[in-house]
Amino acid sequence: MNNINNQFIISMFIIILGYVCKRFNIVKEKDGEGLARIVINITLPCLIISTFSTLKVEYSLIKLTLISVAYGILMTVVGMYLFRKKRKKTKGILLMLLPTFNIGLFAYPLVQAIWGHEGVKYFAMFDVGNSFIIFVLCHIIASYYSKESETLDIKSAIFKAFKSIPLITYIIVVVINILGISIPKMIIDFSGIISKANMPMSLILLGIYLSFKFDFKNFKDIISILALRYIIGFSVGLLFFIFSPFDKMTKYTLFVGFILPIASTIIPFSIEFNYDAKLVGVLSNMTILISFILVWILVGITT
């Protein structure tokens, strides 16, 4: 547990550093846009390459990817029904906040501390499905609901989604891994160095947008997102943990996975498509705190 506590404390200090830098005008909130682009297009892809270069994808673990995709689609459908009467742009931001998980920044350090390299392999396969939901489904949602037009050019939306550098990186490295092709050592070393910047830069970005102040008019939306994410996530995870025939590590991956925080990638999306980045930041930070407590309790009880 000391390792978990240390990871959490270090993460919190990095987030606070970003917030302090903003408060003292060392960086401005608008600087977050450039930092977000660096994280999405450079450090995150390098983290993906670095992670999968040391993992052997097992066909039996593809079920984690498929379950992750199915769950993301389910949450989106639930959100579309429950938020059907909301304004278009409000609906867009709420739908982006429901089906995604922060695995690269939040889960990997904790998983490494609790289950080691083997645990990271399971969560990486869960994250492949999560990445599809983020970079395809959420990208389409963000694009469509950011405009007043009621039409959606599916071809154009999918084409833009597949221009996502992290998604393309995931697809390439998973295919390479399955085919048994070795990534050149130079690329692995280069990616490994750059990937080390992903965690601090992403957490600093969270700190730049850190705020627990929000318009009271958003209060119901905040409660709705938190309730839906944790009630449904915990319930589905518990059902898999108790009743599924899967091995123990798969059960832990699903149980923990479904109660992880909102994907930090949604912040850059909200900036790119002109949504309320502060609201995303508030919810992101709330879910980081809630998820850490839940994961800590869950692991403490079940291991």
pTM above 0.85, yes or no: no
Predicted pLDDT at 30: 79
- Pick the residue with more confidence: 17 or 58? 17
Say yes or no to pLDDT of 257 above 90: yes
Predicted pLDDT at 215: 67
Highest mean pLDDT among 17-21, 87-91, 174-178 belongs to 17-21
Burial readout 209-241 (b: 16 or more C-beta within 10 A, e: otherwise): bbeeebeeebeebbebbbebbbebbeebbeebb
- Pick the residue with more confidence: 172 or 300? 172
Burial class (CB in 10 A: 0-12, 13-18, 19+), 185: exposed
3-state helix, strand, coil in the chain (%, to 5): 80, 0, 20
Burial class (CB in 10 A: 0-12, 13-18, 19+), 39: buried
Mean pLDDT of 25-33: 83
Predicted pLDDT at 72: 96
Predicted pLDDT at 148: 57
- Pick the residue with more confidence: 277 or 221? 221
- Pick the residue with more confidence: 94 or 4? 94
Q: Which residues contact 109 (CB under 8 A, 6 or more apart)?
A: 7, 11, 199
- Pick the residue with more confidence: 9 or 189? 189
pLDDT tens by residue, 92-148: 999 999 999 988 767 877 787 778 777 888 998 898 899 889 888 888 888 888 775
Contact (Cβ atoms closer than 8 angstroms) between residue 35 and residue 201: yes
CA distances from 3 to 6, 195, 225 (A): 5, 21, 30
The single residue listed with the structure tokens 């949450």 is 75
pLDDT bin (cut points 50, 70, 90) of residue 218 is: confident
pLDDT bin (cut points 50, 70, 90) of residue 255 is: very high
Contact (Cβ atoms closer than 8 angstroms) between residue 21 and residue 206: no
Predicted pLDDT at 212: 67
Q: What is the mean pLDDT of the chain?
A: 84
pLDDT bin (cut points 50, 70, 90) of residue 161 is: low
Question: Which domains, and CATH codes, for the chain?
Answer: 2-302 (1.20.1530.20)
Q: Which of 102, 136, 132 is nearest to 256 (CA)?
A: 102
Say yes or no to pLDDT of 282 above 70: yes
- Pick the residue with more confidence: 182 or 232? 232
Handedness of CA 63, 294, 282, 26 (dihedral sign): negative
Mean pLDDT of 156-163: 69
pLDDT bin (cut points 50, 70, 90) of residue 32 is: confident
